[in-house]
A and B are shown apart, each in its own frame.
Chain A
């Protein structure tokens, strides 16, 4: 438990992905079975408990600590689990420190009524970091900034294999993953991935380089289709097992019971998960109503019905199509989808074109219908086999040009790691006129990339020279009609938002250009953004 607690503690303070990867990889290397397997299960979300509710933890601590001292401490620390972890009185002669596997095994066999006593016993035996880790584990959700994908990448690094190989076998493995570690440490063969409805590593597209690629490739070799603005999914239904995976192999079926119910086939489809009403796609904003909801209520499902727009077929019945060329797979896919006659699964149509120029025109002004809200185009070589990863050449994505607005820098926050001495995260705003006719800036987004190191230095200096107020790591920067720094901000789309004061939220905003030359008063108006929402 001590090593696991140390790992969680380090991860919680580490912002950089590469550093997190090193921390997880080294932990997995240094920790014996089955401890590391249980740790991996909890990092990937395979294992989670909600054995202890906050009220329950509070009751336990108030039996040990004077309530007034606890209240003063909680007030200072601000987080219940952390306060309890820190304040829990040490008990000389307590039991041996439990291992993670002890906790897991014991909890699995324990009744609800026994949990209180178990929890207290463990808290007595652990140190402050261990108590914090235990409480995080028992309340569900470690929240240390590690995704399942990152944990799998660390696992791949441990065994010096591609992460696609991990993804392929992942769903046939169960914690504490002794076979998986044995393979990665070259003590045994690769475990069989042969589990029905297992995840197949997905094929990804490279971004096209307009300057060079079109000259290199022949338009006749490629099929084009619209790039749908949803989330990439893999729908697998084999021998009675049904699964819906994200493109990183996370099982997301629980959030889409309506889609799961439509998987009435034998095979594996690759496609885009979209919110569709009467066969028409609606915007990404509506899809977001469905994302990250573990158990959506029937009302939300009815209002935002989800479906799959299929664009590839990996398994047709028991036949693996991945080694066939795209042209052949496409024919099989068309027949497959036609047979389904499902209102929730349709086909992503191909967009015919004669040459690259015609395709460029289509991209610039897409035809009426769903294509209008597509993100751009996908190009797939007719002869491309389905290959995991992001090979260069067979598949390209050609996104639409981003939206651009001019906004004024309002707040800057210090970065982390390499950027810890730089103000590198910027909140920017546009002008809004209030009821009284006064123009004021209202924040519309935040961006922390899109500029060079040299530009970062210049912006950092601007922030330091023009600071009005400081709030911890954040500085507010002078921004008014007579003075301010204008950023040209690029973003992919805009959604209505109730969480932001401005009422809009940008997708994927980044700094496109720094407009040292542009007066702040000439930056864009909120109205301009609101018009984009309507479009």
Chain B
């Protein structure tokens, strides 16, 4: 009886084919998992930053009068208070005091004033940023509304 050791050529080819498939799928899963974890961390960080931005924005505007509001694309002014984006921060200055709050990563702020008939005027800070899902990009837009006093 002929003694047989190891694989035949056919078995070897089958093993290589199976291994290639298994390794490529495993590698893909690992890469997806890694990217997913990073994405979740960035999203969690952004979601943690938003409430602080919202609170700072609303607190600063709430003590101002709507008559004093002025908004341009990158700056909001209410009397002595000024809010603007400086790099990754929302900087709110009021006289000598200055406060910088971290914005979501890669975000852009725009300021507008909405004066609709029959409704109280409100100052709106719109924060926009992009996030990635695998190979597609998703736009995030958050409206943060603040109203003044004496309305």
Do chains A and B interact in one complex?
no
Chain A interface residues toward B at CB < 8 A: none
